[in-house]
């Protein structure tokens, strides 16, 4: 009689590619440990199928463009709400080879997941670029207009020409067809990719600013008005990267 595979061996096998024949054998195995492994495997497989379906649905806008021979850029910004630092936009162009199903709205991903995706996105997109508008210009033209300027910069910085834009809830001053998508980073893969790149880029900038301006916790709060940040304002005052038209920053100005 053939000795059954160990549970440890089956567990290792289920982490990779398995055949229908293997699964059929294991499903007849009455050991509780094996059945628990199979239940976990089935759950993981179902999640992957659901993720693949959602990924396909979020490619609708891009796929329609590709079928008409058009190149689109997805555009998003990050950093409207912070009290300090720039607003950053990213533009991303993908083609039908893009297969990172984990790409989603950056706000729905953990920091670890976002950072893990960063280089993969950069490697797989056709092109990407950033736009940055600093705190001084934000104070001059307001945060909404600054976001639009950053988006325009990102698009103009792309290394490829695009035929149209998919933008998260905004439009920009460019003579290109534009699809203004509410919650676009959750509806378009290229916008989702742009949102991840923009968030990671801005977080890196704020971590660098934390070295120049210690005591505010920029490496932790990215310039948002956390208790640590507000305590830093009270103790050290306003820095050159603070948005002086934003409350409560303006309350600390002479």
The whole model's pTM is what? Answer: 0.87
Choice between 47 and 154, residue whose per-residue pLDDT is larger: 154
Question: For the residues 146-174, what does the mean pLDDT come to?
Answer: 97
- Tell me how far apart the alpha carbons of residues 185 and 1 are, in angstroms, rounded to a whole number: 57
* Annotated binding-site ranges for a divalent metal cation: 76-77, 168
Question: For the residues 220-235, what does the mean pLDDT come to?
Answer: 97
Q: Is the pLDDT of residue 167 over 90?
A: yes
My answer on whether 201 and 150 are in the same domain is: yes
My answer on whether 238 and 124 are in the same domain is: yes
Based on the structure, what is the number of domains in the chain?
Answer: 2
Q: Which residues constitute the domain of residue 192?
A: 70-250
| Residue 42 pLDDT level (bands cut at 50, 70, 90) | confident
My answer on whether 37 and 95 are in the same domain is: no
Q: How many CB atoms lie within 10 A of CB 210?
A: 18
Q: What is the DSSP letter of 95?
A: -
pLDDT, tens only, 87-127: 999 999 999 999 999 898 678 888 999 999 999 999 999 99
Collapsing DSSP to helix, strand or coil, 131 comes out as: strand
Total H helices, total E strands in the chain = 10, 5
* Annotated binding-site ranges: 76-77, 168
| Residue 1 pLDDT level (bands cut at 50, 70, 90) | low
My answer on whether 125 and 194 are in the same domain is: yes
Specify if 65 maps to a domain. Answer: no
């Amino acid at each position: 009689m053939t000795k059954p595979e160990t549970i440890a061996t089956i567990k290792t096998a289920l982490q990779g590619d398995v055949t229908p024949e293997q699964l059929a054998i294991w499903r007849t195995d009455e050991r509780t440990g094996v059945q628990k492994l199979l239940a976990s495997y089935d759950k993981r497989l179902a999640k992957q199928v659901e993720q693949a379906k959602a990924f396909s649905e979020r490619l609708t806008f891009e796929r329609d463009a590709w079928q008409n021979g058009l190149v689109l850029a997805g555009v998003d910004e990050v950093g409207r709400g912070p009290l300090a630092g720039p607003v950053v936009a990213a533009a991303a162009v993908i083609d039908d080879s893009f297969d990172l199903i984990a790409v989603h709205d950056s706000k729905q991903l953990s920091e670890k997941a976002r950072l893990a995706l960063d280089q993969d996105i950069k490697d797989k997109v056709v092109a990407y670029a950033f736009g940055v508008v600093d705190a001084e210009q934000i104070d001059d033209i307001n945060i909404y207009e600054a976001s639009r300027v950053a988006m325009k910069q990102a698009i103009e910085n792309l290394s490829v020409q695009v035929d149209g834009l998919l933008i998260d809830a905004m439009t920009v001053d460019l003579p290109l067809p534009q699809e203004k998508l509410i919650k676009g980073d959750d509806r378009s893969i290229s916008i989702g990719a742009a949102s991840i790149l923009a968030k990671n880029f801005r977080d890196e900038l704020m971590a660098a600013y934390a070295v120049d301006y210690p005591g505010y916790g920029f490496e932790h709060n990215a310039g948002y008005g956390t208790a640590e940040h507000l305590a830093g304002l009270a103790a050290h005052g306003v820095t050159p990267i603070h948005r002086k038209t934003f409350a409560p920053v303006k309350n600390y100005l002479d």
